[in-house]
Structure 1
Amino acid sequence: MITCVVDYVISPAKLDAFEAFAKAWMTLVAEHGGVHHGYFLPSEGASDRALALFSFESLAAYERYRKGFGVDPAFIAADRLRDESGCVLRYDRSFMRPLLPALARGTNAERP
């Protein structure tokens, strides 16, 4: 399993637009074989930072999902929400291997 962690710098004045953007992407990840763990929005502290975490069974599965970028109308519409609103100022994407509670308890001894 591979988890994509996206660290966003967002416009605090455009949080509603960011939430609409986030909801669209949560649906798209699920429709294309991933598991979205949610967006984590500002509450206390920094008001311009948000995170998203979503997983795919493998890097190959993630790459299949990425093939829709710039091509699939639903992907284009979701990006349009971000671009036209200006809610995202910058983002960085990194990949991690999760250690989930079920794995820590030993219910799944296999490591990806």
Structure 2
Amino acid sequence: MITCVVHYKIDPDKLADFERFSRAWIYLVNKHKGQHHGYFLPSEGASDVALALFSFESLAAYEQYRTRFGKDKEFIAADKIRDESGCVIRYERTFMRPLLPNEVDGPPDGWQK
């Protein structure tokens, strides 16, 4: 499994637009065999940072999903929300390998209680 972590700098005055954009991508990732773990939006205080996490079975599965960008009408519509509203100032992707709670069945080797 591979997890994509997307770090966003957003326009806090356009949070409603960013939420619409986020809902579209949650739908699309899940529709195309990924698992979206959610968007994490500013909650209290002034903030221009948001995160998204989603996983695919493999890098190859993620790359298959990426082939739809700029071609699939739903992907184009989702990006249009971002582009027309200006809700996203900048973003960067990082790929990680998750260690999930259901994969931990006891304390680590050599760990003392």
Q: TM-score, normalised by structure 1?
A: 0.92
Q: Report the Cα distance in structure 1 between the residues aligned to 2:97 and 2:8, rounded to whole angstroms.
A: 20
Other-structure match for 1:37: 37
User: Hey, what does 1:90 align to over in structure 2?
Assistant: 90
Judge which range, 42-51 or 1-10, deviates more. Answer: 42-51
1:45–1:95 CA distance, 2 compared to 1 (3 A) = farther
- SS of 1:60's equivalent in the other structure is helix
Moved over 6 A (4+): none
2:46 aligned with 1:51: no
Deviations 1:62-83 (A, max 9, x none): 0000000000000000000000
Counterpart residue number, 1:27: 27
Aligned to 2:64: 64
1:21 counterpart SS class: helix
Residue aligning to 2:109:
none
Identical-residue share of aligned pairs (%): 71
**Rg larger in 1 or in 2?**
2
Q: What is the number of equivalent residue pairs in this alignment?
A: 106
CA distance in structure 2 between the aligned counterparts of 1:92 and 1:34, rounded to whole angstroms: 19
If the length of structure 2 is used for normalisation, what is the TM-score? 0.91
Q: Structure 2 matches for 1:9-20, cutoff 5 A?
A: 9-20=9-20
Gap runs ≥5 in structure 1: 107-112
**Equivalent residue, structure 2, for 1:73:** 73
Any stretches of 5+ residues in structure 2 without a counterpart? Answer: 107-113
Look up the equivalent residue of 1:19 and give its one-letter code.
E
Please state how far the C-alpha of 1:45 moved relative to its aligned partner.
5.0
